[in-house]
């Protein structure tokens, strides 16, 4: 998305690159969310599952609201490029976290 924002003379290339970046963000975020829900459901009693899913969703929405507020404050004085760079750093952190979790899961399954 950051690279696409610097392209000024070819709008089709700009939107294609930026769309590809957005798709990557979606592909990274969804498996992590599904894994966390699965992990939570496996480790709580049946009667507590509704409560844990509701709590997780509330936490996710509160976090999203805080991040949106933070980005809004950034956009008051800075450009959208800074927000995209911050999102890029957060994406890298999430990718590394997902890889670490995947390795831990694989290791745990091999030990069983």
Q: pLDDT digit string (tens) for 19-76? A: 888 887 777 667 767 777 887 788 788 888 888 889 888 988 998 899 899 999 999 9
Q: Is the pTM of this model over 0.75?
A: no
Closest CA to 93 of 32, 37, 35: 32
DSSP state of 44: S
> Which of the two residues, 41 and 112, has the higher pLDDT score?
41
Closest CA to 31 of 108, 107, 98, 88: 98
The predicted structure's pLDDT at residue 70: 92
């Amino acid at each position: 998305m950051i690279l696409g924002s610097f392209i000024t003379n070819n709008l089709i290339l700009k939107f294609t690159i930026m769309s590809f970046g957005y798709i990557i963000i979606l592909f990274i975020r969804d498996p992590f969310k599904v894994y966390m829900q699965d992990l939570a459901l496996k480790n709580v009693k049946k009667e507590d599952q509704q409560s844990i899913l509701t709590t997780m969703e509330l936490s996710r929405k509160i976090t999203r609201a805080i991040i949106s507020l933070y980005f809004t404050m950034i956009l008051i004085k800075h450009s959208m490029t800074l927000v995209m760079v911050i999102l890029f750093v957060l994406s890298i952190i999430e990718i590394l976290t997902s890889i670490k979790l995947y390795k831990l899961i694989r290791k745990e399954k091999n030990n069983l």
